[in-house]
Amino acid sequence: MKQTIAGVVLAGGQSRRFGRPKAFALHQGAPFFAWSVAALAPIADELYLISHPALVGEFRRRTDIPVLLDVERYRGFGPLAGIYTAMEQSRSDWVFILPCDMPYMNKDVTERLAAYADPSFDAVVPLHAGRPEPLVALYHRRLRPLIAKLLNAGERRMGSLLDGARVRYVDAQPLAADETVWRNVNTEEEYR
């Protein structure tokens, strides 16, 4: 039976270092978030954007993809809350998350990474330069109770989720020979 995937773009941050909402910054004429959506669309059975309350209206003007706010009890708790929210909304087996600030990510990389999804693991996470990339990863929906437990305990670190999950780590080199795809844009200086 085919495993289903919900593609989720995390765009709920406040972009403090960037100085304005990163999701709407342009790369080659399209907003950053649209590049993440384009990278996920070919492998996703459903798509979602997880947004900050102040940005929902703008996202809804720009796309017909469902825009979600973190479930209220975890609002403002970071990426873990976004993953939990997506799992609450979706019935897909896997949630494939991408941040909105990686405009160089592409469908070739997401397709290759999704091919590693295996129900004997809880997560599929690339290792880039020997370090996990937990915000470019797939998480099985069975992790939802663990994520809730972590959030209820005030734990927001993605590393804590990885510590409690059976993770299939995948070397980033065969996923993308071009190092640029792993670049995220955090400041206006990086953007320029």
Residue owning tokens 């896997």: 94
Give residue 192's Cα distance to chain centre: 24
**Nearest-CA neighbor of 59 among 15, 10, 6, 105?**
10
Task: Tell me the C-alpha distance between 140 and 59, whole Å.
Answer: 26
> Residue 7 annotated as binding?
no
At residue 170, the 3 state secondary structure works out as strand
Q: What are phi and psi of 169, to 5 degrees?
A: -85, 135
> Residue 11 annotated as binding?
yes
> Residue 30 annotated as binding?
no
**Structure tokens of 137?**
């990863």
> Residue 19 annotated as binding?
no
> Residue 122 annotated as binding?
no
> Residue 108 annotated as binding?
no
- Residues belonging to the binding site are 10-12, 22, 70, 101
- Residues belonging to the binding site for GTP are 10-12, 22, 70, 101
- Residues belonging to the binding site for Mg(2+) are 101
